[in-house]
Amino acid sequence: MRPFFIPRNARELAFVVLCSGGEDTEFAAQRLEQAAADQVVSPADRRLATELIYGVIRRAATLDTILKSYVRRGQQQVEPELWMILRLGAYQLVMLDGIPPHAAVHETVELSRRVGRGGWPGFVNGTLRGVSQLVTPDRTSQAAADSVPLANGQFGKLSKIVFPDPQTQPADYFAAAYSFPDWLAKRWAKTFPAEELFRLGTWFNLPAHLSLRINRLRTTRDEYLALLADRGTAARPGTVSESIQLDGSVRVDDLPHFAEGWVTIQDESSMSAALLMNPQPSERLLDLCAAPGGKTTHLAELQGDQGKIVAVDVQAERLAVVSANAARLQLKSIRTHLMSKDEMDAPTGHFDGVLVDVPCSNTGVLGKRPEARWRITPYDLSELPKLQRKLLNLALDRVRPGGRVVYSTCSIETVENRQVVEQCLVNRPNVTLAEERHHVPGQPADGGYQALLRVAPAEKP
């Protein structure tokens, strides 16, 4: 890339973010904010850049499969920046209906001319013209080797076969057409029928929807919905009593009274953890893996800010985020505790309730964190349960007789969920599994799991 490249439009902005390590969505969001702040970017360019960035991250394998049918040399023989330009062009041609093909090709060629070498424009032009001939305006509701899944649940018909046959090779089709690693596609194909597998792929490739949790100590859901309506923001009540679903994307800074702590961004499946705990005023609670504090602050709100909550994490900078969120929400009942990774200095004493939201594979939230599908490995699914069992046992050791523990993940893997709970209960006859909640991705929110464990009261003398 040319030094001191300053993006002038949406495509250049997307290119800069993606080529600066922005294929991690959290980092991509930060880089987009920074790049947009450095230049005057129109709202339309910002929206298109956001769509291109997150779309390319989500559908990288789909785009690569299509491009490889038009690029004679292997992907490893193409400069990474040039391949990213091809992905950006292919995404516009295959996934976006609102951009005329000639405009997508021309603008992408111009991007390659500005940032690349002498031979790049011709290579990009030839490749993308081939891709443009692959795409047809026809739509279908059925998966096929010559159809590509689109964000609206339909399939775009292609002029030739590009993908494996979904009838005979559902895992291979899922990996290539929906953009997932082969090993995960094969794993899920053993668990889910093809129809459900493809439904999951559609859900995880949708733009992440935004869910809000109102702070019941500051406002009511009806009052906040009225504020959103006054600002022209489309929203509706969620399925949880304090949740609101936004029908489109909204910048956090544009949410009314966000800085004053009236609302928090949180998915409904995540809200379920604190609701399952059902904290009562004056109780002493422990949040063992607290950062960034969404569940911690929810517990405090449910207590009316009248209890005592110890929020624990192993990274000081992440604990600072918990404190900042508690301060924004004007909550006084939360204190933080920095714990070493060997847990030797974990908080002592018996708590009325312990929430342990463990590190996990994130397989229930691959829509919000699409890059996680490429980061997780089969090795992780063998190693993570060891850490999860360790943390759950730590939680159970710190709850009083008659108290309870909520075990929570954002995973849909049984090995991280029910199996962890069962293995921890083997040598604890005084602990029972009282309730489980399995959150299926897209029904209606993120995927995940929670288990409520109850400890038997102390025997009377």
Helices 120-134 and 60-68 pack at an angle, to 10 degrees, of 100
pLDDT for residue 371? 85
Q: What is the rounded distance in angstroms from the CA atom of residue 263 to the CA atom of residue 240?
A: 14
pLDDT for residue 409? 98
- β-pairing, 334-338 vs 308-313, is parallel
Tell me the two tokens of residue 307.
């209890």
Catalytically active residues are 410
* Cβ atoms of residues 69 and 128 within 8 Å: no
Closest CA to 250 of 215, 206, 210: 210
Place of tokens 């108290």: 403
pLDDT for residue 387? 96
Closest CA to 449 of 398, 424, 423, 412: 412
CA Rg, the chain, in Å? 24
* Cβ atoms of residues 357 and 289 within 8 Å: yes
DSSP bridge partners of 246: 235
Q: What is the rounded distance in angstroms from the CA atom of residue 6 to the CA atom of residue 26?
A: 22
Contacts of 115 (CB under 8 A, 6+ apart): 1, 2, 5, 12, 15, 81, 85
Length of the chain: 461
pLDDT tens, residue order, the chain (461 aa): 444 567 888 999 999 889 887 566 666 777 777 766 666 678 788 889 989 999 999 999 999 999 999 998 888 899 999 999 999 999 999 999 889 999 999 999 999 999 878 899 999 999 999 999 999 999 999 999 999 999 888 999 999 999 999 999 999 999 999 999 999 999 999 999 999 999 999 999 998 888 999 999 999 999 999 999 999 999 999 999 999 999 887 888 889 999 999 999 999 999 999 999 999 999 999 999 999 999 999 999 999 999 999 999 999 999 999 999 999 999 999 999 999 988 888 898 899 999 999 999 999 999 988 888 999 999 999 999 999 999 999 999 999 999 999 999 999 999 999 999 999 999 999 999 999 999 999 999 999 999 999 999 987 76
Please list the alpha-helical segments (H only) found in 39-158.
43-58, 60-68, 80-95, 101-115, 120-134
Under DSSP, the state recorded for 392 is H
* Cβ atoms of residues 367 and 206 within 8 Å: yes
* Cβ atoms of residues 243 and 271 within 8 Å: yes
Q: Which amino acid is at 427?
A: N
Closest CA to 447 of 389, 373, 376, 368: 368
* Cβ atoms of residues 405 and 391 within 8 Å: no
Please list the alpha-helical segments (H only) found in 158-293.
170-178, 182-191, 194-204, 221-230, 268-277
394-432 burial, b for 16+ CB within 10 Å, e for fewer? bbbebbbeebbbbbbbbbbbeebbbebbeebbeeeeebe
Q: What is the rounded distance in angstroms from the CA atom of residue 275 to the CA atom of residue 273?
A: 5
DSSP bridge partners of 405: 354, 453
Contacts of 323 (CB under 8 A, 6+ apart): 293, 334, 336
* DSSP reduced 3-state for 232: coil
Closest CA to 361 of 342, 378, 339, 344: 378
Q: Which domains does the chain have, with CATH numbers?
A: 1-138 (1.10.940.10), 164-205 (no CATH), 211-265 (3.30.70.1170), 268-455 (3.40.50.150)
Q: What kind and span of H or E run contains 418?
A: helix 418-425
Q: What is the rounded distance in angstroms from the CA atom of residue 361 to the CA atom of residue 123?
A: 39
pLDDT for residue 209? 83
Q: What is the rounded distance in angstroms from the CA atom of residue 141 to the CA atom of residue 133?
A: 21
Q: What is the rounded distance in angstroms from the CA atom of residue 456 to the CA atom of residue 461?
A: 15
Phi, psi (deg, nearest 5) at residue 31: -65, -35
Tell me the two tokens of residue 173.
């089709």
pLDDT for residue 40? 66
Tell me the two tokens of residue 448.
């995940």
Tell me the two tokens of residue 66.
């299509």
Q: What is the rounded distance in angstroms from the CA atom of residue 313 to the CA atom of residue 109?
A: 48
